[in-house]
Amino acid sequence: MKKLIERLLLFVIGLPLVIGIVVLLPYKHHLAVNLVVILLSALGAGEFAVFLKKNHKPITVREALILGAVNPLAVTLTVSFDLQAPIIPGMFILGASWFLVSRIFAGEDKLKDVMDRVAAGCAVLVYPGLFMAWIIKMSRLVHADRVILMFLLMVIANDSVAWVTGMLWGKGNQGIIHASPHKSVAGFIGGLIASIIVGLGAVFFIPEAFSPRRVPSAWAGMALGLISGIAACLGDLGESAMKRSVNMKDSGTLMPGRGGVLDSIDSLCLAAPVYYASYWLLFA
């Protein structure tokens, strides 16, 4: 019951806050949204570093917080402040270079873990920041506020409805996926239906932003919702697999009712580039 109340409170407070930031603060190509993405990416990378440390990968949370912000920060600088595009690969290379050279003058005992340290550093550069940066790229699109809002609603609806339908009808169809044994087929189907409904709503109620180029509107909306919903589910399961590999239930305790930041953005991470690509193919 406590977890249900915490989730409801987070939904009631969080959803209007998300809508307000996206709709009411469009300045500098949604700089407010971009800054939130940078913050969440950094905090998520810090939690990811805890996974890696449990698996004996030598990376500090402080390093991860910085590296997690690198890619979304680079994209924000190009999108909101019109800096040149080479800044993105440049900052990525700068971050990776730190791990290549940081142990050059270390003692012999610390040289043994250089390969693990480089691998961990590159992993933190990519996840979750590189995935989340695609939300920032959406802010360059025409009707960016509507495109970003529909993306967030699609993923939030998927996650929320999956949880509810799983609670109501999932008891007899759980345990199919070992990475997350509490996930159910009922929850998966419920989440996908919710994403599809949001996609249909987008094409019928926001035609200025969701007018398809090659296929009927209804099919395009359903396709966008279905593809993005599947990606959101896979993103959630991917993070569950990582947690299971290091024997952790939650990535952290920062988000009441949800665990850590990474537990809250795992679906967004994989869905963001998939949604962006699908939107570009179907509507842009």
What single-letter amino acid sits at 44?
A: G
pLDDT of residue 75: 95
Cα 68 to Cα 48: distance, rounded to the nearest angstrom: 9
Give residue-wise pLDDT tens across range 47-95. 999 999 888 778 899 999 999 999 999 999 999 998 877 888 899 999 9
Low-confidence ranges of the chain (pLDDT < 50): none
Instruction: Indicate the burial class of 71 (C-beta count within 10 angstroms; 0-12, 13-18, 19 or more).
Output: buried
pLDDT of residue 218: 95
What are the residues whose beta carbons fall under 8 Å from the beta carbon of 23, sequence distance 6 or more? 145, 149
pLDDT of residue 172: 86
User: Taking each helix axis from N to C terminus, what angle separates 61-81 and 87-101, rounded to the nearest 10 degrees?
Assistant: 160
CA distances to 114, 127, 149 from 98, rounded to whole Å, are 12, 17, 36
CB 40 within 8 A of CB 265: yes
pLDDT of residue 78: 94
pLDDT of residue 51: 93
pTM for the model stands at 0.94
Binning the chain into helix, strand and coil, the percentages to the nearest 5 are: 75, 0, 25
pLDDT of residue 14: 78
pLDDT of residue 9: 66
pLDDT of residue 109: 78
Cα 217 to Cα 199: distance, rounded to the nearest angstrom: 10
**Quick check: bond before 128 cis, omega within 30?**
yes
- E strands in 77-227: none
pLDDT of residue 23: 92
pLDDT of residue 214: 81
